[in-house]
Chains A and B, each alone.
Chain A
Amino acid sequence: MRADRQVGRFTAVTFRAVRKLDVGDDLLAAISTAAFGRQSSSWCRRGSVHKGLLRIAVRAVSASSRVTVRYFHSVCHISNPRLPALAFEALRNTIRLESATVRIVERLRAEEIVGHEWAEWYRLSPRERFLESARLWETYLRLGGSLEPEPDTQSPFFDPEEWRENATHGGASVHILRRRGI
């Protein structure tokens, strides 16, 4: 069961331009400062009780009315029940936004931790993962990929002499036609 709770919604009056929503650090710092009076990557206080996770969705609109919609999900563990409201205020005061929603969620989604690509991979069944992996292998071998493992210099078994003796040098199917740089 999810316990999402929308805390507030805000419509800004003016917009100069869409800020490049590289909001990660800026926004986190602003919210953190608003919430705790200091910047912290984890927004937590020692001894506090875990309550949930903070998720922020942001929509921004440019001055020329070309609507740009971007979402930013920030995931952090929060310990202060007032944090969503504080975060919302921080958003309103620091980044001019058309709207922002701040929610507490009970459970993280894979996308929020590992991104879409990995989340998709996690959702595959073992059989599907094997098939995808086999497909990658076929391409690799078609390109002339070698079966020789790459040098594993951190392995306790690694012996540079043995690796040089046994290394093969590329496959027959790929030929460099032009190469620039180093």
Chain B
Amino acid sequence: MGGQACIFYGAAEFSRDLDLLIFADAASLANLVRALEALDAEVVAVPPLEERHLLKGHAIHLRCRREDVAGLRIDLMASLRGVAGFEELWARRTTIEVAGEPIELLAMEDLVRAKKTQRDKDWPMIRRLVEQSYFGHSTNATRELVKFWLRELRTPELLMEVAGAHPELARDEAVLRPAVRAALSACLDDVSETLEAEEREERRKDREYWAPLKRELEEFRLGRSRE
């Protein structure tokens, strides 16, 4: 769901770890544990690999020790803030083939939503992902795609361009997104300001979401250091 998905959809990231979103039920976890054993992977941080932690929203961090993948970090998660549940994500996933093996990727719209975090580095990534979608399809856009751009574009000039080209859809989206409202009134400064405000708000929500989980992580760490 991380760097490789970004590369597939058009952004670029030099990611050194592997981020996996998993379905955290007992059977799935049993399969996962077998796969991790085959990679000689061990948990390198709190919390331990347990279903309850995954379901709560924590990430599990592992490092592989098998010779051909020695040092590779794997992060596991079962839920992401602001993103649909696993079944829904799975239903609209993208499947690609790499070296004869199928790889399942988050759909572009889900990847964009998942990237709306408190971290600086995720925001340029969102911008790149949606820009690529726009430049790659702007001449043959479906209605759904136009709605996606209106919802997610973070490039003021392009948002204005899309709003100008599709005013009716833009008026619908403007009810929900102030940046589209500003784009319809053709003021670049206002579009930029509303996009910045949007980012600040998402970062705030992400910090708020993580606050109790971070406290719990601190408790795990304290517990570990006492052992």
Residues of chain A touching chain B, judged by Cβ–Cβ distance below 8 Å, are 40-53, 75-77, 79, 107-110, 113-114, 118-119, 121-122, 126, 129-130, 133, 136, 140, 146-150, 152, 154-157, 159, 161-162, 165-166, 168
Q: Assess the A114–B131 pair: CB atoms within 8 A.
A: yes
A45 CB contacts on chain B under 8 angstroms: 187
**Any A CB within 8 A of the CB of B73:** yes
Q: Assess the A42–B73 pair: CB atoms within 8 A.
A: no
| A165 vs B12: C-alpha distance when bound (angstroms) | 29
Q: Assess the A126–B217 pair: CB atoms within 8 A.
A: no
Q: Assess the A154–B120 pair: CB atoms within 8 A.
A: yes
| A168 vs B63: C-alpha distance when bound (angstroms) | 12
Q: Assess the B164–A50 pair: CB atoms within 8 A.
A: yes
| A159 vs B61: C-alpha distance when bound (angstroms) | 12
| A152 vs B120: C-alpha distance when bound (angstroms) | 10
B157 CB contacts on chain A under 8 angstroms: 53, 75-77, 108, 113
User: Which residue in chain B gives the minimum CB-CB distance to A140?
Assistant: B14
Q: Mark B69-113, 1 if CB is under 8 A from A, else 0.
A: 011110000000000000000000000101000000000000000
Which one of B3-11, B26-34, B48-56, B142-150 is at the A interface?
A: B3-11
Q: From residue 175 to 227 of chain B, which have CB atoms closer than 8 A to chain A? A: 183-190, 192, 206, 210, 213-214, 217, 221
A147 CB contacts on chain B under 8 angstroms: 16-17, 70-73
